[in-house]
């Protein structure tokens, strides 16, 4: 008997949009995302970043894990699964959610779309089908993966509304943040949600895969009238940090992937206490989260601005210069818009309080020689970057 293993010839799946992205790529800087081939940088990182902040950037969202959840008990099942009270979620709306294990540690976060009564789409960063199915015991609910069944584009930036309107998608004027609309583009049915991971004005366009290239061509067909740029993961990393958005598996260890005890994190520990509703009734992890809420704060994933203009990179956080080490930087960028070093850091609290003096110790290289430097840090609770046009309805024409 002869076995033919051909998977090595195509190590990654190909999105319905990949043909267009490959044609635009000048870097050949590719990586994998949920088994799909995706660009880290399509052409130039600077142009992709500034397209989000001053124009329109388009990114392929097809690889995002997507699950369709339906059935008579769909709402009850999801309310039992997640920490947030979703009883007020209505058809045509989206909300941000997290879900935990019995110890109150985060398994993943995502967005929950209510498409119709008892019909939902859950989008997640990582594969979650096993956990979703195990959690469905006793509920009249159907769960299926629809990642490859739905093509999706993130269209983000101040001119995203104008670009989509010029591309032929009418009816976006009244679409509010976290709203969903079923519209048409060039005669093709599309679902448009006013959502995104950039902290800017933006939309996500959902379409059947066979129509993906038509929608792509319609959006990029307004090139010249507007500046439209294809974006990769590296630019997304920059803008999501500016927006204060977290990335499971990068900024914190998820409960299903943590090997050593104590290295996973609860919603409170990563700054997501605002999506925990302890009064809504029982949900997975509620007992542990009740106990944690009653104790003094032990640690938080904290937004910090680091003095100076040297790239921080990997760094330790200290309670005062040369004081006790109390944390580590999880992610960091130099923000071209804000002209500042921004970071998210996992920091231990002392007696339930954040140290008033935070310093970062980091290493940097200059002409092949390594140096150690100290920089004072300043914590903040609000996102680093929140433009007014992000929530304007209808959005302004730029």
- Taking residues 80-99, report their average pLDDT: 97
- Taking residues 307-333, report their average pLDDT: 93
Quickly state the pLDDT bin for 56 (edges 50, 70, 90).
very high
Q: Which CATH number fits domain 8-62+150-231: 3.40.640.10, 3.30.1360.120, 3.40.950.10, 1.10.1740.10?
A: 3.30.1360.120
pLDDT in tens, 161-173: 999 999 999 999 9
Does residue 394 have a cis bond before it (omega within 30 degrees)? yes
Pull the structure tokens for residue 309: 């203009």
- Taking residues 310-327, report their average pLDDT: 92
pLDDT at 256 over 50: yes
Is the alpha carbon torsion for 279, 283, 288, 292 positive or negative?
negative
Quickly state the pLDDT bin for 1 (edges 50, 70, 90).
very low
To the nearest whole percent, how much of the chain has pLDDT over 90?
Answer: 90
Q: Which CATH number fits domain 297-380: 2.40.30.10, 3.10.150.10, 2.40.30.110, 3.40.50.720?
A: 2.40.30.110
291 burial level (CB within 10 Å; 0-12, 13-18, 19+): exposed
Look at residue 340 in the predicted model and tell me its pLDDT: 96
Look at residue 7 in the predicted model and tell me its pLDDT: 57
pLDDT in tens, 341-382: 999 999 999 889 999 999 999 998 889 999 999 999 999 999
- Taking residues 215-223, report their average pLDDT: 98
pLDDT at 3 over 80: no
Look at residue 365 in the predicted model and tell me its pLDDT: 87
pLDDT at 74 over 60: yes
Look at residue 12 in the predicted model and tell me its pLDDT: 87
pLDDT at 94 over 60: yes
The most distant pair of C-alpha atoms in the chain lies apart, rounded to whole Å, by 70
Lowest-confidence pick of 134-138, 207-211, 394-398: 394-398
Quickly state the pLDDT bin for 2 (edges 50, 70, 90).
very low
- The CA distance from 100 to 350, in Å, is 26
Look at residue 261 in the predicted model and tell me its pLDDT: 87
Radius of gyration of the chain (CA): 22
Q: Are 59 and 40 in contact (CB under 8 A)?
A: no
Quickly state the pLDDT bin for 269 (edges 50, 70, 90).
very high
Look at residue 4 in the predicted model and tell me its pLDDT: 53
- Taking residues 89-112, report their average pLDDT: 98
Categorise residue 46: left if φ over 0, alpha if ψ from -120 to 50, beta otherwise: alpha
Look at residue 8 in the predicted model and tell me its pLDDT: 58
Angle in degrees, 0-180, between the axes of helices 233-242 and 45-54, rounded to the nearest 10? 40
pLDDT at 55 over 70: yes
pLDDT in tens, 242-254: 999 999 999 999 9
pLDDT at 308 over 70: yes
pLDDT in tens, 372-393: 999 999 999 999 999 999 999 9
pTM attached to this predicted model:
0.94
Look at residue 85 in the predicted model and tell me its pLDDT: 97
Quickly state the pLDDT bin for 314 (edges 50, 70, 90).
confident
Domain range summary for the chain, segments of one domain joined by +? 8-62+150-231, 297-380
- Taking residues 119-134, report their average pLDDT: 96
């Amino acid at each position: 008997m002869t076995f033919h293993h051909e998977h090595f010839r195509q190590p990654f799946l190909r999105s319905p949009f990949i043909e267009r992205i490959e044609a635009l790529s000048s870097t050949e800087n590719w990586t994998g995302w949920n088994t799909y081939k995706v660009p880290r940088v399509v052409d130039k990182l600077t142009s992709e970043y500034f397209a989000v902040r001053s124009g329109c950037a388009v990114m392929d969202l097809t690889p995002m894990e997507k699950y369709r959840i339906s059935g008579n008990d769909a709402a009850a099942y999801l309310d039992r699964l997640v920490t947030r009270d979703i009883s007020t979620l209505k058809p045509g709306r989206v909300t941000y959610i997290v879900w935990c294990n019995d110890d109150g540690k985060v398994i993943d976060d995502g967005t929950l779309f209510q498409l119709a009564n008892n019909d939902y789409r859950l989008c997640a960063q990582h594969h979650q089908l096993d956990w979703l199915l195990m959690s469905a015991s006793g509920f009249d609910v159907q769960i299926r993966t629809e990642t490859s069944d739905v093509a999706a584009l993130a269209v983000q930036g101040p001119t995203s509304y104008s670009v989509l309107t010029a591309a032929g998608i009418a009816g976006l004027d009244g679409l509010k943040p976290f709203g969903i609309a079923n519209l048409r583009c060039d005669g093709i049915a599309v679902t448009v949600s006013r959502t995104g991971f950039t902290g800017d004005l933006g939309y996500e366009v959902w379409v059947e895969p066979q129509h993906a290239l038509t929608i792509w061509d319609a959006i990029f067909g307004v090139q010249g009238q507007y500046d439209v740029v294809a974006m990769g993961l590296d630019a997304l990393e920059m803008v999501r940090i500016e927006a204060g958005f977290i990335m499971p598996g990068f900024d914190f260890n998820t409960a299903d992937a943590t090997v050593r005890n104590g290295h996973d994190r609860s919603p409170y520990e990563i700054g997501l206490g605002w999506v925990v509703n302890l009064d809504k009734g029982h949900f997975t992890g509620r007992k542990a989260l009740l106990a944690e809420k009653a104790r003094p704060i032990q640690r938080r994933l904290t937004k910090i601005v680091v003095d100076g203009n040297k790239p921080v990179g990997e760094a330790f956080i200290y309670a005062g210069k040369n004081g006790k080490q109390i944390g580590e930087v999880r992610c960091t960028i130099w923000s071209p818009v804000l002209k500042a070093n921004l970071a998210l850091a996992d920091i231990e609290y002392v007696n339930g309080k954040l140290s008033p003096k935070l310093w970062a110790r980091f290493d940097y290289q200059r002409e092949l020689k390594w140096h150690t430097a100290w920089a004072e840090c300043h914590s903040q609770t609000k996102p680093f970057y929140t433009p007014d046009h992000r929530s304007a309805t209808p959005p302004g024409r730029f």
